Amino acid sequence: MAIFIKILMISVATTAALPALGSGNLSRPFEMTDITPWNAGGTTQFPIHASCNATQRRQIELGLAEAVDLAAHARDHISRWRNESEIYRKYFGNSPSMEAIGAFEVVVSGDKNDVLFRCDNPDGNCDLEGYAGHWRGENGTKETVICDLSYETRRSLSTMCGMGYTVSGSETNTFWASDLLHRLYHLPSIGQSWVDHYADGFEEVIDLAIENATLSTHDSETLQYFALEVYAHDISIPGIGCPGEQHEHKHEDDETDVANSGGSQPTATSTTGEASSTTADVPANCHTHEGGELHCT
């Protein structure tokens, strides 16, 4: 008994003495030190607000998981093929591949602390006709509101190429994955005010790749269309996909054909090209994309 107590005392004394020996003794790798891990406090999980009930939360989480899958595959396709991919050249011209790879990677691996999805309609926009969700803008730059219409209409990527869907003929917000990709790009921590709207709709996206390819690798719609098309082509119906009717690049007679000048200068003004058809129902900071998709900045 006495021996036992003595051992215990020594052990306590040793433990108490540890900090005095100084940190950084490599022979004791598990000693506690003041140094926190380099990634302390980081999160790869998307935060979902308490206002989302169980079914809403589950759908948003599954949608975000698909958005990450969609972005990860787009990144992988580019990493493998760069501009040797015909689909890459269709959407990005001969732009260097690293910007598009980065735009997808930030969705996959970027820190998710400054992201929040909520379901409580704090700005009242969900009451507006056609609203499936919106970025809160000045009311909460990290926050995205998802409205009831999303749960009723957004589809899983597993339905890709089914029910009449084609990449060129359908809206990018057909799927949770691409809709949420778009919403994520509006967040300062993901889109970084660099991914923006330079083209609206499939035709403009194809034109952008031909005329202003340097903008295409950080254009929100281009990134969505590209991700959808490679997912359809590589995963949903391998080798075939469902690209839909292809674009015919038509120019007015008096317009110079710039199809071969892929390296045009980027514009400094980022949002001016964003077609907005504002109606009385749409708040000043919102606009309607081609196809009726409402969107607030």
Ligand X SMILES: *[C@@H]1O[C@H](CO)[C@@H](O)[C@H](O)[C@H]1NC(C)=O
Tokens 């098309």 identify what position? 229
- Residue 88 CB, nearest distance to ligand X (Å)? 9
Q: Which stretch binds ligand X (CB under 6 A): 5-13, 24-32, 65-73, 231-239?
A: 24-32
Distance between CA atoms of 115 and 187, rounded to whole angstroms? 7
Give residues 60-99 in contact with ligand X (rule: CB under 6 A): 83-84, 89, 94
Q: Which stretch binds ligand X (CB under 6 A): 18-26, 31-39, 163-171, 227-235?
A: 18-26
The residue within the footprint of ligand X, chosen from 107, 147, 181, 296 (CB under 6 A), is: 296
Q: 41-65 b/e with 16+ CB inside 10 Å = b?
A: eeeeebebbeebeeebbebbeebbe
Distance between CA atoms of 142 and 128, rounded to whole angstroms? 22
Distance between CA atoms of 294 and 297, rounded to whole angstroms? 10
Burial class (CB in 10 A: 0-12, 13-18, 19+), 8: exposed
Give residues 176-205 in contact with ligand X (rule: CB under 6 A): 198-199
Residue 264 near which of ligand X, Zn ion, none (CB within 5-8 Å, type-dependent): ligand X
- Residue 271 CB, nearest distance to Zn ion (Å)? 9
Binding track over 97-126 against ligand X, x by CB under 6 A: --------------------------x-x-
Cα atoms in the 13 Å half-sphere on the side-chain side of 106: 21
Strands 294-296 and 286-288: antiparallel
Rg of the chain over Cα atoms, rounded to whole angstroms, equals 25
Residue 207 found at the interface with ligand X (CB under 6 A):
yes
Q: Which stretch binds Zn ion (CB under 5 A): 50-58, 98-106, 125-133, 288-296?
A: 288-296
By CB under 6 A, name the binding residues for ligand X: 21-22, 25, 27-28, 53-56, 83-84, 89, 94, 123, 125, 134, 136-137, 139, 148, 198-199, 207-208, 211-212, 264-265, 267, 273, 283, 285, 296
